[in-house]
Amino acid sequence: MIVLSRALVLSPPAAAFGLNNPILGWQNRLTTGNVAADSEATGYPVTNVANGSTSPLQQWRSGTTAAQYVTVALDEVYTLDYVGLAGHNLGTAGVAVAVEGHNEPEAETPTWVELVEEFLPADDTPLILRFTAASYAAIRVKFSAGDAAPRAAVIHVGKLLVMPRRVYVGHTPLPMGRQTTVVTGMSEQGNYLGRIVTGSQRASDVNFLHLDPAWYRTYFEPFARQAIETPFFWAWRPEAYPLESGYAWLTNDAVPSNQLGNGMMQVSLSMSGIAV
């Protein structure tokens, strides 16, 4: 699910890169060296959120149900506009989440500003918390008091890649791209006995056309290279369909081709994502 800050909704970006343009949350300024948590359960340090894995064995788990923060203190000021969370339990634990930031790297007691208002997720699907792009020296995620201690396997803090062209036809939204492995029980007489789900994931494809060659080389190619090894957050129509987003990885390399004689380019993405 994608959550838009109130400020972003009231003052949306230019129409060419509006709130319904597809977004890729691949850039991540969070590292094992700059992230800290108010609480950590034994064996589940907050540094786990930097490794990209959504395995429950590689989560950050808090040791308390009280309100708390996970803070990312950057080594310099960066332009940021999103926080991504995957492999979390915020919906089932009843934990509301908010995002705060500051741009006072030298201050001993900086003034934190709310970037995304407190929000209670309805479930445990991946979250993209999007706010107005600006320069920040630190970002922190606030977890409110809940019914259970919060957990998260992946946290991204970075700048979204906003695609210049929207997706209209031929695309299956990632949460609807169900790929389920099942075992079906049948009796010797051919009667149906039941089914057992042994595995599940999500899959989707998207085609981007008429991409400016300079834009592609400057902004998209770095993503294409990093996505060979690194998962990313994805939303195809963020404002209109905020529930149709996910945390995914490429199943084929992103290989562009020249589409038109004027140099305009096209590229396709094939991706799989977590089922939760």
**Structure confidence by residue, pLDDT tens digits, 86-116:** 999 999 999 999 999 999 998 999 999 999 9
Which CA distances in Å does 102 have to 73, 105, 113, 115? Answer: 10, 8, 6, 10
Measured CA to CA, the distance from residue 103 to residue 77 in angstroms comes to 7
Residue 195 domain boundaries: 174-273
Query: Does the residue 229 lie in any domain?
Result: yes
Domain boundary among 159, 186, 208: 159
User: Is there a single domain that holds both residue 147 and residue 36?
Assistant: yes
Percent of the chain scoring above 70 in pLDDT: 99
Query: Does the residue 66 lie in any domain?
Result: yes
Query: Does the residue 17 lie in any domain?
Result: no
Domain boundary among 159, 191, 217: 159
Per DSSP, 44 falls in state B
Query: Does the residue 185 lie in any domain?
Result: yes
Residue 16 has which token pair? 């060419």
Which CA distances in Å does 170 have to 173, 185, 208? Answer: 10, 35, 11
Number of domains observed in the structure of the chain:
2
Q: Over the stretch 221-233, which tens digit does the pLDDT of each residue have? A: 999 999 999 999 9
- pLDDT value at position 10? 79
Is the predicted pLDDT of residue 64 greater than 70, yes or no? yes
Q: Over the stretch 13-37, which tens digit does the pLDDT of each residue have? A: 766 688 999 999 999 999 999 999 9
Q: Over the stretch 160-187, which tens digit does the pLDDT of each residue have? A: 999 999 998 889 999 999 999 999 999 9
User: Is there a single domain that holds both residue 243 and residue 129?
Assistant: no
User: Is there a single domain that holds both residue 149 and residue 196?
Assistant: no
User: Is there a single domain that holds both residue 73 and residue 150?
Assistant: yes
User: Is there a single domain that holds both residue 85 and residue 183?
Assistant: no
User: Is there a single domain that holds both residue 128 and residue 184?
Assistant: no
Is the predicted pLDDT of residue 207 greater than 90, yes or no? yes
User: Is there a single domain that holds both residue 115 and residue 198?
Assistant: no
Measured CA to CA, the distance from residue 72 to residue 70 in angstroms comes to 7
Query: Does the residue 3 lie in any domain?
Result: no
User: Is there a single domain that holds both residue 154 and residue 200?
Assistant: no
Query: Does the residue 92 lie in any domain?
Result: yes
Contact (CB, 8 A) for 112 and 53: no
- pLDDT value at position 11? 77
Residues paired with residue 169 on neighbouring β-strands, in sequence order: none
User: Is there a single domain that holds both residue 109 and residue 183?
Assistant: no
User: Is there a single domain that holds both residue 133 and residue 205?
Assistant: no
Give the list of residues 6+ apart from residue 137 with CB closer than 8 angstroms, or none: 73, 74, 76, 77, 102, 103, 104, 105, 110
The 10 Å CB-count burial string (b at 16+, else e) for 1-11 is: bbbbbeebeee
CATH of the domain at 147: 2.60.120.260
Query: Does the residue 10 lie in any domain?
Result: no
- pLDDT value at position 131? 97
Query: Does the residue 141 lie in any domain?
Result: yes
Contact (CB, 8 A) for 113 and 80: no
Domain boundary among 128, 159, 190: 159
